[in-house]
Amino acid sequence: MSSTIAPARARPARLDPSLLPGETGMVERPRRRFLPFDPWHLFLAPLAVVMLLPLVWMVVTSLLTEAQTHHFPPVLWPGTPQFDNYLEAIRRSAFGTWFWNTMVVTVAIVISNLVLCTLAAYAFARVRFLGRGFVYFVLLATLMVPLQIVLIPTFLIVKELGLIDTLGALIVPNLASVFGIFMLTQFFRTLPIELEEAARIDGASRLSILLRIVVPLSLPALATLAVIQFMWTWNDFLWPLVTILTNQDAFTLQLGLATFQGAHQTTWHLLAAANIMSMLPMLVLFLLAQRYFVRGIATQGLKG
Amino acid sequence: MYPGPVVAVDDLSLEVGEGEFLILVGPSGCGKSTALRMVAGLEHVSHGTISIGDRVVNDVPPKDRDIAMVFQNYALYPHMTVEKNLGFGLRRRRMPRDDVRARVDDVSRMLGLDELLRRRPGQLSGGQRQRVAMGRALVREPEVFLLDEPLSNLDAKLRVQMRSELKRLHDRIGVTTIYVTHDQVEAITLGERIAVLSQGVLQQVGPPQDVYDHPANVFVAGFIGSPPMNLLTGVAVDGHVTVGEVELERTGAPDGEVLVGIRPEGLRPVGAEHRGPVFEVCVDVVEPLGDEVLVHGSVAAPDAVAATEPEEGILAAESESGRASVIVRLPPEDRPATGSLLRVTPLPNALRLFDPASGRAIPN
């Protein structure tokens, strides 16, 4: 019904809209228009500006001279953009090491999450075993426990494992996530069971069904999980701060960026430049996966 | 799927001959699909055995049973092309690539799918999808072919067309086939034998015409045939059955109450001069169907309606008006006017008698 009315609203040039059935199935009165655009834009456009402002300000700051960053009132437009700030940020810090470390940790976690959560979620969704409901419930319950509560116990475990001050401390506790298991379980349950039954009759093993039928049909969900996990890991500050104590070679980007902010002085222009560089991989990933990401969220009815 | 253990199929004993086309038919929820899924190995069998050939297959996984199944919603793999869908089962069985291609080509030519091999299921029409689902089963050359309501997702015209195509296909390849449907027309037209199920219990097995002509009980009488068999309550004394005021032919019924079943085409209109049993049908509704006319009316007799819904038991409550509804099938030229009185007589051998307590047929 809505598909018939939508074009009529967009360009009422040829057809009299009053003659077309509306969303209610009745003939709608033509709407009087005061504006050449949807009135919602009056609300949404300022909101978009507010959301974009911090980002724009960060870009501006990254192009200022150090003196300009301390100026009051704030400088809103750099006279000559200081692109050198970016090189300077890299030169004056171990940016390369941080970037590499973060990449290693993030990629390892994303891949292991995709593999482990898929396996676990498939078991919860399709394999019948004793205590399945109970175990699933307990897993979900852990989602409700705030990070602050498990921070110290997890730290102690990681310490026992001898991983403090290594990248392992960042990777091992996050190899699988309850959120990922939950999300994929819900998605797998929506797949028609007949497909798997047909594959069973066709002679496919459990693993083969998972790899050849379930996973290809779950690409939107997997892409969503990958992006979310990437974002969380890439941006995580608290856990690296707690576990990477002295070893600067194991610093992640977020830890490294904090070093621009000293007790007595903060080099804002360099911090902003480094920040923008640290955001780039996420932006690229998001743009690449956006199609899947949005569709994936929509399929599951989860709030992004 | 079900809360707690449910006995979906109870004490079902059936033998399907080599190359036979057997139809499992019954109302929805009667356990016919479950029975089929048990044969396929998708459902657990708590008691009894399932054998294919000489082999008991209760504990054999589906893939080793040498069966192929067509699902109601086709269950085509949406991310694979038609070609990959057809070849999936063969490739899982480690058949060499060239052999797979040869078989897929054969089957797709047979089903007219050769133009569609590169397409995905989403780009096919309902009929084409149905054919791919059939092809995916055929290509495996299984010992047993299982079809679970394969035509129910098609529109009426296509369904009739595919029905005859299915029959032709079976005549050609002659694979043992078990076909599940809730549509009794499909059952009668397709099957060599049909098995009628209700509430997980087998009601009757036999060639379609036998089941139609001699229903084993009231349920089958009401379920097979459209419109269903008319059921009237009568009384038998010394083998003479009386329905209302009408005395019918002599039968072998024991004394007492008895249910009389007459097919809609078992009643013939007669004039006033007719000697013999005559029902006066008060005509309520006339449905012209082109080649025939269905007359809905009532006669002065206690009503008895066969229940086709499982929860209603085998017999529904008798109506209290003292008039029983009947349906008469007439040629179009005999069409009566609404509100008129139609005099009909039962044809010889058209009467079927049932025991009102058990619902079972009483041999005449």
**Full DSSP string of A51-70:** HHHHHHHHHHHHTS-HHHHT
> CA nearest B148 in A: which residue?
A194
Q: Which of residues 174-203 of A touch B (CB under 8 A)?
A: 192, 194-195, 197-203
> CA nearest A194 in B: which residue?
B75
So what's the pLDDT on residue A27?
52
The rounded percent of chain B whose pLDDT value lies above 70 is: 92
Please indicate, yes or no, whether residues B315 and B246 belong to a single structural domain of this protein. yes
Name which of B68, B75, B93 is nearest A197 (Cβ-Cβ). B75
In a domain, A288, yes or no: yes
- If you average pLDDT over each of A72-76, A114-118, B119-123, B155-159, which comes out highest? A114-118
C-alpha R_g of chain A: 26
CATH code, domain carrying A190: 1.10.3720.10
> CA nearest B73 in A: which residue?
A194
> CA nearest B146 in A: which residue?
A201
Q: Which of residues 58-77 of B touch A (CB under 8 A)?
A: 61-63, 67-69, 71-73, 75, 77
So what's the pLDDT on residue B169?
87
CB–CB of A203 and B92 under 8 A? Answer: yes
CB–CB of A208 and B79 under 8 A? Answer: no
User: A7: burial class by Cβ within 10 Å (0-12, 13-18, 19+)?
Assistant: exposed
| CB neighbour list of residue B101: distance below 8 Å, 6 or more residues apart | B87
Please indicate, yes or no, whether residues B187 and B288 belong to a single structural domain of this protein. no
Cβ-Cβ pairs closer than 8 A, A with B, add up to 56
Which residue range(s) make up the domain with A98? 90-300
In a domain, B329, yes or no: yes
Q: Which of residues 136-165 of A touch B (CB under 8 A)?
A: none
Distance CA B353, CA B235 (A): 11
Question: Of B325, B323, B321, B329, which Cα lies nearest the Cα of B350?
Answer: B329
pLDDT at B255 over 80: yes
pLDDT, mean of residues B333-346 = 91
Question: Could you report the per-residue pLDDT of A124-144, keeping only the tens digit for each?
Answer: 999 999 999 999 999 999 999
Distance CA B46, CA B200 (A): 14
So what's the pLDDT on residue B305?
59
Which is more confident, B292 or B321?
Answer: B292
> CA nearest A193 in B: which residue?
B75
**Amino acid letter, residue A4:** T
**Amino acid letter, residue B31:** G
Residue B356 Cα distances to B204, B234, B250, B257, B317, angstroms:
18, 10, 19, 7, 12
Please indicate, yes or no, whether residues B123 and B186 belong to a single structural domain of this protein. yes
End-to-end CA, chain A: 28
Residue with tokens 């029959």: B167
Please indicate, yes or no, whether residues B80 and B147 belong to a single structural domain of this protein. yes
Q: What is the mean pLDDT of chain B?
A: 86
CB–CB of A195 and B77 under 8 A? Answer: yes
In a domain, B61, yes or no: yes
So what's the pLDDT on residue A301?
35
Count of beta carbons in the 10 Å neighbourhood of residue A65: 16
Q: A200: which chain B residues are within 8 Å (Cβ-Cβ)?
A: 41-42, 61-63
DSSP reduced 3-state for A36:
coil
pLDDT at B318 over 70: no
In a domain, A44, yes or no: no
So what's the pLDDT on residue A293?
62
Q: A204: which chain B residues are within 8 Å (Cβ-Cβ)?
A: 63, 88, 92
How far is B135 from chain A, CA to nearest CA, in Å?
A: 13
Please indicate, yes or no, whether residues A12 and A121 belong to a single structural domain of this protein. no
Degrees (nearest 5) of the Cα angle A10, A13, A17? 70
| CB neighbour list of residue B21: distance below 8 Å, 6 or more residues apart | B167, B170, B177, B179, B190, B191, B192, B193
In a domain, B335, yes or no: yes
Which residue range(s) make up the domain with B129? 21-213
Please indicate, yes or no, whether residues B198 and B249 belong to a single structural domain of this protein. no
User: B17: burial class by Cβ within 10 Å (0-12, 13-18, 19+)?
Assistant: exposed
| ipTM score for this prediction | 0.81
Domain boundary among B213, B241, B261: B213
CB–CB of A217 and B42 under 8 A? Answer: no
Count of domains forming chain A: 2
Question: Could you report the per-residue pLDDT of A249-270, keeping only the tens digit for each?
Answer: 999 999 999 888 887 788 899 9
**Assessment of whether the complete model's pTM goes beyond 0.80:** no
How far is B71 from chain A, CA to nearest CA, in Å?
A: 7
> CA nearest B87 in A: which residue?
A202
Residue B171 Cα distances to A126, B14, B165, angstroms:
39, 22, 10
Residue with tokens 């009757």: B204
So what's the pLDDT on residue B86?
94
Please indicate, yes or no, whether residues A13 and A132 belong to a single structural domain of this protein. no
Cα A120 → chain centroid = 21
End-to-end CA, chain B: 45
pLDDT at B201 over 50: yes
CB–CB of B42 and A195 under 8 A? Answer: no
In a domain, B347, yes or no: yes
How far is B77 from chain A, CA to nearest CA, in Å?
A: 6
Please indicate, yes or no, whether residues B192 and B255 belong to a single structural domain of this protein. no
**Which portions of chain A are predicted below pLDDT 70?**
1-33, 293-304
Residue with tokens 């750099």: A78
How far is A194 from chain B, CA to nearest CA, in Å?
A: 6
pLDDT at B274 over 60: yes
Q: What is the band of B6 on the pLDDT scale with cuts at 50, 70, 90?
A: low
Distance CA A147, CA A93 (A): 30
* Chain A interface test: which of B79, B81, B85, B138 (most A C-beta within 10 Å): B79
Distance CA B47, CA B30 (A): 18
Report the interhelical angle of B82-92 vs A193-201 (nearest 10°). Answer: 50
A284 has a chain B CB within 8 A of its CB: no
CB–CB of B93 and A203 under 8 A? Answer: yes
CB–CB of B88 and A197 under 8 A? Answer: no
> CA nearest A197 in B: which residue?
B42
DSSP reduced 3-state for A21:
strand
Please indicate, yes or no, whether residues A28 and A97 belong to a single structural domain of this protein. no
Count of domains forming chain B: 2
So what's the pLDDT on residue B5?
53
Please indicate, yes or no, whether residues B85 and B201 belong to a single structural domain of this protein. yes
pLDDT at B160 over 50: yes
Q: Which of residues 212-231 of A touch B (CB under 8 A)?
A: 212-213, 216-217
> CA nearest A199 in B: which residue?
B89
Please indicate, yes or no, whether residues A266 and A169 belong to a single structural domain of this protein. yes
Q: Which of residues 118-137 of B touch A (CB under 8 A)?
A: 136
So what's the pLDDT on residue B349?
86
Question: Of B301, B256, B305, which Cα lies nearest the Cα of B281?
Answer: B301
